[in-house]
Amino acid sequence: MDFLKELGIEEKNYGASTGLNWFKTTDQGEIKVKSPVDGKVIASVYLASEEDYDQIVTQAHQAFLEWRKVPAPKRGEIVRQIGHALRAYKDPLGRLVSYEMGKSLQEGWGEVQEMIDICDFAVGQSRMLYGFTMHSERPKHRMYDQYHPLGVVGIITAFNFPVAVWSWNAMIATVAGDTNLWKPSSKVPLTAIAVQKIIAKVIKENNLPEGLFSLVIGRGSSVGEKLLHDKRIPLVSITGSIGVGNHAAEVVAGRFGRTILELGGNNAIIVTPSADLKLAIPAIVFGAVGTAGQRCTTTRRLIIHEDIYDKVKDALVKAYKSLKIGTPMDESNHVGPLVDKAAVAMFKSALKQLQDEGGKIIYGGEVLEGEGYESGCYVVPTLVEAENHYKIVQEETFAPILYLIKYSGDVSKAIEIQNDVVQGLSSSIFTNDLREAEEFLSAWGSDCGIANVNIGTSGAEIGGAFGGEKQTGGGRESGSDAWKAYMRRQTNTINFGTEMPLAQGIKFDIES
């Protein structure tokens, strides 16, 4: 395929790089990367060794010692150039994202656009790493706080957003003065290799230190564990399951490191009697079936008032029947494949468990076979009548399954149902009632990190801080003041007088 050649993807690729130098290790195993689109092998990747990892982190730390001295606006200029390079490769990189992961071509291009957008955001942020000045209680004293670069940032990303989530972290960390070590999902390593090769050109042209952007593709049990335990990496950003995040948080906290955790979502949309269904139905469908239900912000629960339950259900069945399922490389299709056959098995298992618990499938649930579906990864998005207390509903199933849940009474009852899960990422309400909307956004409303009114749970913009509460991990990435997580904070006091007064009026007189 032309886009593979354009991106420098070979038949066999190496899995470790310091940005300029690629390690030639071949004895740690080889991943054969299959596309869920057609089941064909795209290319293979040699896994990195623990020795590769150690050398890469050493180089990344050496690069940090230089990079932290570069003025932040000049660091921003490098990120500007990276954004420009990504613009040039938007089409082929977007196609690779879609072909390797399985999301629609529109979403593949959109993911690269998100990378470009965060570069633009980070360039501006490079001139806005603000501290605050405070009034001292002591005469002729000035107090302020400031932020300094932190070190090597470890970025562990998941398969569903192969490149965008890395950029959220890496571009902000770069303007903050940090260097980056990326460990991508082994399900989608080719997109990471392609990005590394794109930004290598910027590194060379600007004579930047080797190790500014590093990549390691290796086993979680070896390379991944070394990263978590490595005291040279003060911050680890992780996108993944609750179980993975829980383990990582314990390990990193055990060495007094920091984590940014973006874990499971079990996102709900509340539909009240006053809702505008012309707005609600398209948002619900995209939220539930976009990326084949494999977003952390995917709409998984739909909490509908009993007065409009049947109307909403009928509208959704009609909409689901109109969905086109097929190769994501065809822009006319709405839904592509799940990432692999293991995801399909999880989809089937979840539906069986749901039926065992008393749920009812009202549309979909099939695994598609035959021409165009040879990979075995295509499923029909599914609508299910369920109750919130079902064990399977309480969990996050990474598949296009939407649970329809009925509520009665006022909006507080719906909010109570929404909040009654362990995850707390994204949430939404469709209502034209101002009081319902404001209650949903109040301190006693949605307990999620993202709460929307009259838009869906999915498709967050980079300007706002992204992340969630409870077992979603509490992390924040991307916009707002998320940049502070990538820096160390320092409070400074300067005495420009001739006296030495102590705070709190303490007296400590000595002869001098």
The residues annotated with a catalytic role in the active site are 262, 296
CA 291 to each of CA 65, 84, 102, 286, 294: distance values in angstroms, whole numbers, following the listed order: 40, 26, 8, 9, 5
Burial of 176 (0-12, 13-18, 19+ CB in 10 A): buried
What amino acid is encoded at 55 in this protein?
Answer: Q
CB-CB contact of 450 with 468 (8 Å): yes
- Residue spans of alpha helices (H) in 384-466: 391-394, 411-419, 434-441
Residue pointed to by tokens 């196609």? 95
Q: Dihedrals φ, ψ of 37, to 5°? A: -70, -45
Question: Is 276 in contact with 433 (CB distance < 8 Å)?
Answer: no
Question: Which three-class secondary structure state does DSSP give residue 246?
Answer: helix
What DSSP assignment string belongs to 180-191? Answer: EEEE--TTSHHH
Q: Say which amino acid occupies 112.
A: V
How many CB atoms are closer than 10 A to CB 387? 13
Alpha helices (H) along 255-302: 277-289
Tokens read off for 158: 């998941």
In what helix (H) or strand (E) does residue 149 lie, and over which residues does it extend? strand 141-149
Containing 179, the helix (H) or strand (E) segment is strand 179-183
Please give the Cα distance from 189 to 308 (Å, whole number). 45
Q: Which residue has the tokens 């801080």?
A: 465
By C-alpha distance, which of 374, 474, 162, 416 is closest to 268?
Answer: 416
Whether 384 and 362 have beta carbons less than 8 Å apart is answered as: yes
